[in-house]
Amino acid sequence: MPTPDFEDWMNRQDIPIEERTTLEDAKRYARDEWGLKGGSLDVFEDWYGERYKMLVEYGVRPIEMERTYMGEPFKETRYVISEMRGLFSKWRAYEIAAERAEAAGDYESLDIFRFRLEEMVLAPEKRRNIWQVPRREE
């Protein structure tokens, strides 16, 4: 059972797009760059599947954006969602993935997406503000 600190650390990591096209590429990157081995690689594999593979199955794809914030380089992850225009926050991406999983009858994925949404609700407010972008009233 991984510790919450380890999972939290993994959630803050970004894997370059060219290194996450396949699970084997991502595992090699985790071994070479982060020094993961043994059971840690097994946990990484589950994390990878959830973060990249499961979301992609429901038309949700993370992209990395590089910006400058107060003169310093800043990277953030936003989400592109098939059949929808624009970029979305992590919060909204998981909501949409959950809706699509429920509509497809994929309750295993739905449980995972809902669990991640609950984790975001329980996270410190500073982190929640990054994930949850206020919606505009239309």
Per residue in 71-108, pLDDT tens? 888 777 788 999 999 999 888 999 999 999 999 999 98
State CA 31 to chain mean position distance.
20
- Supply the pLDDT for residue 1: 43
Q: Do 96 and 121 lie in a common domain?
A: yes
Structural domain of 106: 61-133
The count of domains in the chain is 2
Helix (H) or strand (E) holding 6: helix 4-11
Average pLDDT score over residue span 100-125: 88
Q: Do 79 and 52 lie in a common domain?
A: no
Does residue 74 fall inside a structural domain? Answer: yes
Does residue 138 fall inside a structural domain? Answer: no
pLDDT digits (tens, 9 = 90+) for 5-54: 777 777 677 676 666 667 788 888 888 888 888 888 888 888 777 777 78
Q: Do 66 and 125 lie in a common domain?
A: yes
Q: Do 84 and 25 lie in a common domain?
A: no
Q: Do 30 and 89 lie in a common domain?
A: no
Encoded tokens for 35: 């020094």
Q: At which of 57, 81, 100 does a domain end?
A: 57
- Supply the pLDDT for residue 55: 85
Q: What count of other Cβ atoms lies within 10 Å of the Cβ of residue 6?
A: 15
Q: Which amino acid is at 3?
A: T
Contact (CB, 8 A) for 115 and 108 = no
Residue 137 binned pLDDT confidence (cut-offs 50, 70, 90): very low
* Global model pTM greater than 0.85: no
- Supply the pLDDT for residue 138: 43
pLDDT above 70: residue 132:
no
